[in-house]
A = this chain, B = another copy of it.
Amino acid sequence: MNWAVVMAGGYGERFWPRSRRKQPKQLLPIVGDKTMIQQTVERVRPLVSDARIVVVTNQEQAALVRKQLPRVKHIIAEPMGRNTAPAIGVATAVIGKQDPNAVMAVLPADSYIKDTEGYRRVVGDALKLAAARDVLVTIGIKPTGPQTGYGYIQVGEELSNKSATKFWKARRFVEKPDRKTAEEFVSSGDYRWNAGMFVWSYRAVAEAFRQYQPVLWDACERIQKSAGTKTFARVLAREYPKMEKIAVDYAIMEKAKNVIVANGDFDWDDVGDWPAIGRHYEKDAGGNVARGEFVEIDSANCIVLSDKKHLVATVGVRDLVIVHTDDATLICHKDQAQKVRDVVKKLAAEKKYKRLL
Contacts and interface: CB of A to CB of B under 8 A. Distances in A.
A339 B295 contact: no
A164 interface: no
Most B CB contacts (10 A, CB to CB) among A314, A315, A337 go to: A315
Contacts of A339: 297-298, 315-316
A15 B335 CA distance: 30
A315 B297 contact: no
B333 A317 contact: yes
Interface residues of A, number: 37
A6 interface: no
Contacts of A244: none
Nearest to A318: B333
A235 interface: no
A328 B335 CA distance: 25
**This chain's copy number in the assembly:** 2
A17 interface: yes
A313 interface: yes
Given A315-B333, A340-B315, A295 B353 contact: yes
Most B CB contacts (10 A, CB to CB) among A297, A312, A322, A324 go to: A297
Interface in A300-322: 306, 309-317, 320, 322
A6 to B, nearest CB: 31
A93 to B, nearest CB: 41
A329 B329 contact: yes
B335 A329 contact: no
A311 B17 CA distance: 10
A312 B331 contact: yes
Which DSSP category, helix, strand, loop or mixed, fits chain A's interface?
Answer: mixed
Interface string A4-31: 0000000000001100000000000000
Contacts of A313: 16-17, 328-332, 343
Interface string A277-303: 000000000000000000101100000
Contacts of A229: none
A258 to B, nearest CB: 44
A230 interface: no
A336 B324 contact: no
A347 interface: yes
Given A332-B315, A335-B316, A297 B327 contact: no
B316 A333 contact: yes
A288 B221 CA distance: 56
A356 interface: yes
A99 interface: no
B315 A336 contact: yes
A16 B320 CA distance: 21
A315 B312 CA distance: 18
Given A311-B328, A311-B329, A346 B316 contact: no
Interface of A: 16-17, 295, 297-298, 306, 309-317, 320, 322, 324, 326-333, 335-337, 339-340, 342-343, 346-347, 353, 356
Given A295-B347, A297-B346, A314-B330, 14 more contacts: A295-B346, A295-B353, A297-B342, A309-B327, A311-B329, A311-B353, A312-B328, A313-B328, A313-B330, A315-B337, A316-B335, A316-B336, A317-B333, A329-B329
